[in-house]
């Protein structure tokens, strides 16, 4: 064997062993953090459209072996509809409250173990008016918008107002004017941000998946200030 190889081979093997040992030590010392992102689980009451979803979602929660630091539900977490002979209709206040309690109680064990539950609200299912949104915030304990540091990023969740993706008329802004100032400041003050809506911003890709059978487009237009905020920031945003 060439003398040069005789010298370098043991050195390379030694370096590999050292790097492997350090990597294992770092992995044990700093376990990888992770989060779960879910959407449109539509938990239903026993009279609802999908009463089996409660048990299916609970099995999913119970199957999580390594608890994440955060679970983010990006709206549509309850269904607010019931099945009747003529089809499907809005379930009413009693059914809505029952489904909110199903959602809240399903996460109770995780919250007790230190997992933080965050969510935006999906209009038409999770709420339908300012009053119902305030009540949902009170029941679930999660505000309609907020920001949380996670690893090197900041998670920003926003609840879109009902008229912001109206299929047949002009679009209302996603938020009130003063809240856009909060969004701009939050984006500018954080190096990396992940912006979470229930309703997608209109792009060539999202438009393919946002049309119902009646052809209605349920996306936030590019002209909305929230889109401009994420595009104009000098920081990184997703």
* Domain extent for 134: 33-237
pLDDT, tens digit (0-9, with 9 covering 90-100), for 119-144:
889 888 898 888 999 999 999 888 88
* pLDDT surpassing 90 at residue 98: yes
Query: Residue 99 half-sphere exposure, CB side, CA atoms within 13 Å?
Result: 30
Cβ neighbours, 10 Å, residue 101: 14
Task: Report residue 29's pLDDT band, with 50, 70 and 90 as the boundaries.
Answer: very low
Please check whether residue 9 lies inside any domain of the structure: no
List phi, psi (to 5°) of 71: -120, 125
Please check whether residue 180 lies inside any domain of the structure: yes
Please check whether residue 10 lies inside any domain of the structure: no
pTM for the full model?
0.73
* pLDDT surpassing 50 at residue 185: yes
Please check whether residue 22 lies inside any domain of the structure: no
Q: Give the Cα separation of 61 and 64 in Å (integer).
A: 6
Secondary structure, 3-state, 165-234 = HCCCCCCCCCCCHHHHHHHHHHHHCCCEEEEECCCCECCCCHHHHCECCCCCECCECCCCHHHHHHHHCC
Cβ neighbours, 10 Å, residue 147: 19
Task: Report residue 171's pLDDT band, with 50, 70 and 90 as the boundaries.
Answer: low
Please check whether residue 17 lies inside any domain of the structure: no
% of the chain at pLDDT higher than 70: 66
Count of domains in the chain? 1
**Token duo for residue 100:** 């909110």
pLDDT, tens digit (0-9, with 9 covering 90-100), for 41-97:
999 998 888 889 889 988 888 887 677 888 888 888 999 888 777 777 777 889 999
Question: Of how many residues is the chain composed?
Answer: 238
CATH number at residue 183: 3.60.21
Please check whether residue 18 lies inside any domain of the structure: no
Please check whether residue 24 lies inside any domain of the structure: no
Please check whether residue 196 lies inside any domain of the structure: yes
């Amino acid at each position: 064997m060439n003398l040069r190889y005789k010298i370098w081979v043991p050195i390379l093997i030694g370096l590999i062993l050292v790097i492997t040992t350090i990597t294992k030590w770092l992995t044990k010392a700093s376990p990888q953090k992770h989060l779960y992102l879910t959407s449109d689980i539509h938990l239903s009451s026993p009279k609802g459209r999908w009463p089996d979803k409660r048990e299916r979602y609970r099995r999913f929660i119970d199957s999580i072996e390594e608890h994440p630091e955060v679970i983010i539900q990006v709206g549509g977490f309850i269904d607010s509809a019931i099945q009747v002979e003529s089809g499907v209709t809005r379930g009413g206040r009693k059914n809505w409250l029952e489904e909110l309690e199903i959602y809240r109680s399903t996460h109770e064990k995780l919250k007790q173990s230190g997992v933080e539950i965050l969510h935006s609200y999906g209009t038409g299912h999770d709420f339908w008016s300012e009053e119902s949104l305030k009540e949902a915030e009170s029941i679930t304990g999660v505000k309609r918008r907020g920001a949380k540091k996670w690893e090197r990023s900041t998670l920003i969740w926003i609840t879109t107002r009902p008229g912001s993706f109206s299929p047949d008329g002009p679009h209302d802004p996603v938020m009130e004017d003063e809240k856009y100032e909060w969004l701009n400041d939050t984006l500018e003050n954080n190096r990396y941000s992940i912006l979470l809506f229930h309703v997608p911003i209109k792009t060539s890709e999202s438009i393919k998946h946002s049309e119902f059978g009646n052809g209605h487009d349920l996306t936030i237009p590019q002209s909305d200030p929230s889109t401009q905020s994420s595009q104009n920031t000098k920081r990184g945003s997703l």
